[in-house]
């Protein structure tokens, strides 16, 4: 007897899905029942990041629309892949996952940081299946040439600085106690750390690969009038806090400190231009900033991401948001 397919459109579901015969990815579904043709949210975390950091966003978004969360290869419950985690491989594996699980489009992609690049690779594979996008502090093809954050993150000025402590994320996050503990435990595993290191190796290579597709230069836009929202946090403010913590510790010589400050002096204007650059993918656009939150809005300002998702849903002409 053939086992019935999992009903991914109703109830809370969680399953390891075999995508290539020897390789399984873990996916979960939450929220409102989904009828054929209804859009659903698909969350794509950033570089070396766990989906568990998105618990507060998922919890709120699931109140008005179906949400799918998955672990990339090597993270969480998902199997490691035999392939290097290039941006195109990650997108291909996600495409396989959706098809093998028989989870139908249309999708609203919610992408954070490097997830911006990964979501755009999925867009390249499935341009007709993406109904909207929410970019959260998202990378795009010009990120490293315009504003290479690694020059600050790897600066001797920040040697030994605990960013979670300095930025007070443990007190500012909006996860429940249990969600925070799950998130912390998931990212501390040897399995997670190994996969994160593999992604870091592939990270810089992904930008020219995406750039070669010329998605931002297309006319008409690749997404047509499908709504997209770009959300910018205040990452420069966070780096400034970390810089002062490094100075207090005595880190860095005069030249290293000056180089750090030089990058920060033009950070906001360059970052804004990069974040708004993603809007070229569609003629229906929305942009806003969250000035009191840094890069990890999914932890410190999940409600703002939910606001972005609601804007996309409302501008699809879908009557899905309660009270609208």
Instruction: For 113-125, write each residue's pLDDT tens digit.
Output: 999 999 999 999 9
Q: What CA dihedral angle connects 211, 50, 41 and 302, to 10 degrees?
A: -100
Instruction: Give the residue among 303, 320, 294 at the shortest CA–CA distance from 46.
Output: 294
Q: 3-class SS at 288? A: strand
Residues 6+ apart with CB under 8 A from 87: 114, 117, 118, 121, 202, 205, 206, 209, 210
All domains in the chain, ordered by first residue: 13-314 (3.40.50.1820)
What H or E segment, with its residue span, contains residue 76?
Answer: none
pLDDT confidence band for 1 (50 / 70 / 90):
very low
pLDDT at residue 211 is higher than 70: yes
Question: d(Cα 29, Cα 15) in Å, to the nearest integer?
Answer: 9
pLDDT-above-70 percentage for the chain: 96
pLDDT at 2: 39
Least confident interval from 176-185, 237-246, 315-324: 315-324
What would the pLDDT profile of 7-36 be if each residue is shown by its tens digit?
999 999 999 999 988 799 999 999 989 999
Contact, 196 vs 76, CB < 8 A?
no
pLDDT for position 20: 85
Q: Which residues contact 106 (CB under 8 A, 6 or more apart)?
A: 37, 39, 40, 129, 130, 131
Q: What is the mean pLDDT of residues 250-277?
A: 97
Q: How confident is the model at residue 324 (pLDDT cuts 50, 70, 90)?
A: very low
pLDDT at 30: 96
> What distance in Å separates the CA atoms of residue 65 and residue 43, rounded to the nearest whole number?
13
Distance in angstroms (rounded) separating the CA atoms of residues 183 and 187: 6
Please confirm whether the linkage preceding 250 is cis (ω < 30° from 0).
no
pLDDT grade for 317, boundaries at 50, 70 and 90:
low
Helices (H), 140-253: 143-146, 150-153, 163-166, 169-172, 177-188, 190-202, 206-211, 235-249
The reported pTM is: 0.95
Structure tokens that stand for 126 in this block = 């499935």
pLDDT greater than 50 at residue 318: no
pLDDT tops 60 at residue 320: no
Q: CA-based Rg of the chain, rounded to a whole angstrom?
A: 19
End-to-end Cα separation, the chain, in angstroms: 45
- Write the CB contacts of 240 (distance below 8 Å, at least 6 apart in sequence): 264
Name 166's Cβ contacts closer than 8 Å, sequence gap at least 6. 241, 242, 245
Average the pLDDT over 65-81 and give the result: 97
| pLDDT tops 60 at residue 321 | no
Q: For the residues 247-257, what does the mean pLDDT come to?
A: 97
Which phi and psi angles does 291 have, rounded to 5°? -65, -20
Residue 72 pLDDT greater than 60, yes or no: yes
């Amino acid at each position: 007897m053939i086992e019935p397919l999992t009903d991914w459109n109703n109830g809370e579901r969680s399953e390891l899905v075999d995508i290539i015969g020897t390789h399984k990815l873990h996916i979960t579904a939450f929220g409102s029942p989904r009828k054929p043709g209804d859009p659903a949210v698909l969350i794509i975390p950033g570089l070396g990041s766990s989906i568990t950091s998105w618990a507060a966003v998922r919890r709120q978004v699931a109140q008005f629309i179906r949400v799918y969360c998955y672990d990339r290869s090597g993270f969480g419950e998902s199997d490691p892949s035999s392939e290097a985690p290039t941006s195109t491989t990650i997108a291909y594996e996600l495409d396989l996952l959706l098809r093998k699980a028989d989870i139908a489009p249309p999708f609203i992609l919610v992408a954070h940081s490097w997830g911006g690049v990964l979501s755009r690779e999925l867009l390249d594979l499935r341009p007709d299946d993406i109904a909207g996008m929410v970019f959260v502090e998202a990378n795009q093809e010009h990120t490293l040439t315009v504003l290479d954050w690694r020059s600050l993150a790897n600066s001797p000025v920040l040697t030994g600085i605990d960013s979670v402590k300095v930025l007070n994320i443990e007190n500012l996050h909006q996860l429940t106690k249990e969600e925070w503990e799950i998130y912390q435990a998931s990212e501390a595993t040897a399995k997670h750390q190994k996969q994160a290191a593999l992604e870091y190796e592939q990270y810089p290579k992904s930008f020219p690969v995406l750039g070669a597709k010329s998605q931002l230069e297309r006319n008409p836009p690749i997404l047509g009038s499908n709504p997209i929202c770009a959300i910018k946090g205040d990452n420069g403010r966070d780096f400034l806090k970390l810089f002062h913590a490094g100075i207090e510790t005595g880190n860095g010589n005069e030249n290293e400190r000056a180089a750090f400050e030089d990058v920060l002096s033009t950070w906001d204007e360059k970052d804004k231009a990069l974040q708004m650059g993603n809007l070229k993918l569609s003629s229906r656009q929305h942009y806003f900033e969250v000035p009191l939150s840094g890069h990890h809005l999914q932890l410190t300002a999940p409600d703002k991401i939910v606001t972005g998702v609601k804007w996309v849903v409302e501008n699809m002409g879908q009557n899905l948001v309660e009270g609208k």
